[in-house]
Structure 1
Amino acid sequence: MTKQPLTLYLAAPRGFCAGVDRAIKIVEMALEKWGAPVYVRHEIVHNKFVVDGLRDKGAIFVEELDECPDDRPVIFSAHGVPKAVPAAAAKREMIYVDATCPLVSKVHIEAQRHADNGLQMIMIGHEGHPETVGTMGQLPAGEVLLVETPDDVATVKIRDPEKLAYVTQTTLSVDDTADIVAALKARFPGIVGPHKEDICYATTNRQEAVKAMAPKCDAMLVVGAPNSSNSKRLVEVGARAGCNYAQLVQRATDIDWRALEGITSMGITAGASAPEVLINEVIDAFKDRFDVSVEMVVTAEENVEFKVPRVLREPA
C-alpha cells in the first residue's frame, strides 16, 4: 500500500537543556565515584525513561531525605530544594551533591538578596511543583507568597507595597507570565523585578520554536512527561499559536493514530528533560506509517554548558 506523504516539522531547539544534561551527568559521575547505591531526592529530572535508566545503574529515588541512610551519597534534583534539606544533610554528616540547575540557583540567590534588602517576595509559579517548593523554601515561611494567575494578584495580601519584589519559576509560559507581571506592576507600581528574566533560556527558546512551527502544522506532538512543567507549557503554546491538535506523549506508543488520520503536516518538539532517543522513536513511528519528508524549524542555536560540582571532579 502506498504511504501518504507527510511533512514532518522538527523544532530546534528541542529536548535536553544544559541544566538537565548536567543533572544526569552528576548522578552518573556519583555512581562512578562512590559506587551503587547513590540516593536521589526526588526525580533528578521529570522523565520516566531517564529516571528508569539511572535506576538500572544503581540510583535509588526517594521523596524525602529521611528515606536516605547516613552512609550513602545523596543528590538533590535539578529543580532545587528548600534550604532546610542541605542543612539536614550536613547535620547528619552525609555526602551530598546539589544538582540544582544553575539558573534555578540564580533565582534562589535573587530571592535571598531581596530578603536581605527587606523586601517581601512574590513568586510566580505552580503550587506544589518541586522548583516552586525549593525557591519558596529559601526564605522563612510567609516571606514568599505564591501567585499562579493574574486573578491571584488581586487578592494577594502583602505587608508593604513599597517593599516588594517578585521572582518566577524558570519553566513557565513566557506569555502567561508576562500577563501576571503586568497585573503585579499595575497593582504594585514599585515592585522590584529580576535584573534578567527568570524564565530560563531553554524554556524561552523551545516556546519560540513552537510558535514558529505551530501555524505550519495540522497537528503537533510534544515529547515529554506529564509532570514536566516546561513540556506541558509547550503543548499550551502550540495550541495558542494556531495548531488545532497539540498533545503531550511520553513515548511513540502513546500516539493516538486515529486522531491523526488525514493529516499532511506534523510538528514535533520535546521538553527540556526528554532525551533525543525518545524523539527519534516518535519520528521513526511516523516513518513507518507515512512517506515522511523532514523540515527543521530553527529559531535559536544553543551552546550552553554547565560544569558539574567540584566534588565529582576530584578523585575519590
Structure 2
Amino acid sequence: MYRDMVTARHYEERLQEEYLEGKQPAFDISAGPIPGELHLAAGHEASGAGVCQHLRDDDTVTAPHRPHHIAIAKGVDLKRMTAEIFGRENGLGKGKGGHMHLFDPEAGFACSGIIAEGCPPAAGAGLAAKKRNTDSVGVAFLGEGAIDQGAFLESLNFAAVHDLPVVFVIEDNDWAISMPKERITDVQNGAKRADGFEMPGVRVDEDDAIAVYEAAGEAIGRARDRNGPTVLEIQVHRRMGHFMGDPESYRPEDDQTAAQQRDSIERLEDDLRAHGIDDETIEDLRDEAQSAVEEAIEWAKSQPEPDPEDAYEDMWVNPPSGVTDSEPEYDLAGGDD
C-alpha cells in the first residue's frame, strides 16, 4: 500500500509540473505537452491503495475523472497510462482518450469523465460474475458530489435487487468542484445512501490507509462470498485544485491548509515505523516509486505522436439500414425520414 501511495503522489506532482509547462504565465489549456484538462488526485491515495489491495486482475474497477491513484493501485501499466495522458501512439487508447478515459482490460480498469458513469458498468461486471458463477467482483469509485446522480442510485437499486457482488466506493474530499458538499446534499454521510436499498453502508472518517484496508476487506469479502453489495465512503482530502489551472478562489485558506496537514502517507509511515519498519526501508520504497514514475514519464515523452490520418481508426459507426458509401450516414437536419 505504501509503495502504491507514494507512487501515486509523486506521479501527480510530476504530472502537474509537466502539465504547466508552456501554460504560464497566462494559462492556456491547449498549450504544453499535455493539452486539455487534467484532474489530479493528490490526497486521495489511501482510498485507491486500501481498496485495491484486495482485488485481482479478474475484478473490475471503474473510476471517475480523478483516476490515476486508483489505476496505479489496480496495476494499470504505468508507462502506457502516461503515454495516453501525453497523447502518444503507444498509450492505452492510442492517445485518443486522455487521462479521463483510460482503459486497460488486462488490469480490469476503466474510467470516465461523466459523473457516476462507472456505477452501471461495475454493476454489470457483478452481474456477469454472478451468471458465470465466479467469485470476481465489481468496484465503482465515485466522488461525494455524485451520490445524487441517477446512475448511482439506479445502480444501487439494481445491485440490491439482483444481490450483486459490487462495492460502491465514495471518495469524499468535501468539494464537488467549487461547491462544499453541504451545498450539494443534506446527506453528510454518503454511506447512508445504502439504507434505502437495504445494503450495508460504511464510512471511514479519516484517510487512514489501514482503516480503509480493513473496511474494504469486509466489503469485498462479502461480495466474493456472494452476500451482496456494499456502499463504502472514505474521507480523503484534495491537495490540489479541482483541475490544473483552478485558482481555488472559492476555497477558504484554512481549508487548503488543513488539507496539506492531513497527509495519509505520513500517517502510514508512522504506522510502518510502529511495526518495526526502519527509515532506510521507507526511503528505499520512496526511491523505487519515484524511479518508476520518472521512467514512465521519460518513456511516454519519447513515444511518437499519432498520425492524424489514424483519427478515425478503431471507431465504431452503425449507419441506418440502406445507407451506402455514397450517401450521407446521418440526416443532421432532421428530415422527413
Question: Shared fold by TM > 0.5?
Answer: no
The structure that is strand-richer by fraction is 1
TM-score for both structures, normalised by structure 2: 0.32
Higher relative contact order, structure no. (Cα contacts within 8 Å, ≥ 6 residues apart): 1
